[in-house]
Every structure is written in C-alpha cells, then in structure tokens.
Structure 1
Amino acid sequence: MEKTIINPWKWQDQRSYVQAVEVKNVTGTLYCSGQAAVDADGKSSTADAKTQLLQAMENLETVISQAGYECKNIVRLTIYTTNAEELLPHFFEIFQPWVEKHGMKQALTFMEVKSLFETLKVELEATVVK
C-alpha cells in the first residue's frame, strides 16, 4: 500500500489531521461502523463526553485490531457528537495524543448532530486500509 498526504496548508498539522489522503495498491479496506461508548454487554454509556470519547476510541481500536488492521492506517475518520461545546474543551488533549501514538495521518470531519443512539454523545466512524 502507498499513501500520499495532500496538505496545501500547514494550519491543520496542529489539529492532528490532513486535508486528503490518496491510497494506491491497497490489499484491503475496512469500513467501520460508528464506534461509541458501548460496553461489551451492549450497554450505552451515560458518562460525560470526555469519558465517552475515550471509550469510543478504545472500541474503534478493538474493531480495527480484531480485523487484522492497524490504527496507523486509518485514512478517513468522522467524529459525531451531540454537543460540540461539551466535547471540544477535552477533544485535543485526548485526540491528538491518540493520533500521535498510532502515527495516524487521516482526513477528518467533526460534526455536531441532533442525537445519537440512546444516551451516546460521541461516535467515531473510520475507513482503514492495508
């Protein structure tokens, strides 16, 4: 697999994402359903957005790993939240170290939505390549 990062500007570098990722010679593509703060028994979290973001990231890592892929090869990530104002103060302190830990270079969309399933406040949807 060959990845090329397209960044016409530098400002996004401090926000832990890239403007575009071109991928060639892929041997597999994994399209992950939205991962949220749901425990192994299927119970949705009632915790705050920060705690839910941490759990959603752990769940996404689990799905990617179980499929035989690596987080470093996430090329597209969409983050949904029901309350951007609640999540943003914690977002970069949690998200940037996670991106750095995995050496990720992904296109990113951050979106506030009216609601998510049950009591969920954060959901992560990813595309991963091999």
Structure 2
Amino acid sequence: MKKSLVNPWKWQDQLGYAQAVEIPHGTHTLYCAGQAAMKADGTPLSSDMSGQIDLSFDNLETVLSKAGYSMKNVVRLNFYTTSIEQFFAAYGQVIERLRASDCVASSTLTEVNALAFPQLQVELEATAVR
C-alpha cells in the first residue's frame, strides 16, 4: 500500500498522528467498529485507563489481523474517552503502540459522557486500507 502523509506543520509528529493520509489506489478498505476494553467473553474490563488502552489496542489488532490487516494499514484512528485528562496521562503508551506498529494515521480525540458500559473509559475506531 502506498500512502502519503499530509502534514503542513511539525507539531503533530510528537503526538504520533498525521493531519491527513492519502491512499492513491487502495484496493480494499476495512471499517472497524469501536474497540474497547472488552474481554473475550464480552464483559468489560474494570481497570484504569492504562489497562483499558492496552486491551482496546489488543482488540483492534485482533480484528485487523482476522481480516488480513495490521496496524500499519490503519489510515484513520479515532479515540473516544470519558476523560481526556486521564487519556493524556497514559498517552505515552498510545505513542509506544503506534510507533511499534509503524502506524501513523489521521486521528481525532473526543471526550464523551459515556461509552457502551459504565466501566469503559476509552474506545478506538479505525479505518484500514491495503
């Protein structure tokens, strides 16, 4: 997959995302539902933000892998959280996960009142192309 990052500035580089990602001739697109800290049995993980971020990324990677994609194919990654303050306190691990998988996607971070279950604090929504 050929992709071009569109970054008119440099400040977003330290945050691990791109202002835009262009895919000139993508042949397949995968739209992933929001992935949260849900255990394999369908129950939410009651944990701190750090633990929920890890499991949310694990779940996203599982969905991507099952469809024949990886984090490197992700071109859009949206974050929904019930606390931007707590999310940014754990943001170092987000950056680590993105860098380890060579993922630079366009991204939006939104604080919401609630997610599907009261225990959930973060949800990741991705679009991948190959």
Tell me the TM-score range normalised by the shorter chain: over 0.9
TM-score between the two structures when normalised by the length of structure 1 = 0.96
Letter in 2 for 1:96: I
Residue 67 of structure 1 corresponds to 67
* Aligned twin of 1:98: 97
Q: Which runs of 5+ in 2 are unaligned?
A: none
Structure 1 residue ranges (4+ consecutive) displaced by more than 4 angstroms after TM superposition: none
Cα distance in structure 2, aligned partners of 1:99 and 1:53: 12
Q: Mind listing any 5+ residue stretches in structure 1 that lack a counterpart?
A: none
Query: Aligned partners of 1:87, 1:27: CA distance in 2, in Å?
Result: 34
Secondary structure of 2:41's aligned partner: coil
Distance in structure 1 (CA, Å) of the matches to 2:83 and 2:15: 19
CA distance in 2: counterparts of 1:49 and 1:5, whole angstroms: 29
1:100 match: secondary structure: helix
Pairs within 5 Å for 1:1-130? 1-91=1-91, 93-118=92-117, 119-130=119-130
Q: How many angstroms does 1:87 deviate by? A: 1.9
State the Cα distance separating 1:107 from its structure 2 match: 0.2
Residue identity in the other structure for 2:57: M
**Which whole-Å CA distance do the structure 1 matches of 2:30 and 2:24 have between them?**
15
Cα RMSD (Å): 0.8
Task: Name the amino acid aligned to 1:99.
Answer: L
- Sequence identity (%): 46
Give the Cα–Cα distance (whole angstroms) in 1 for the partners of residues 100 and 87 of structure 2. Answer: 21
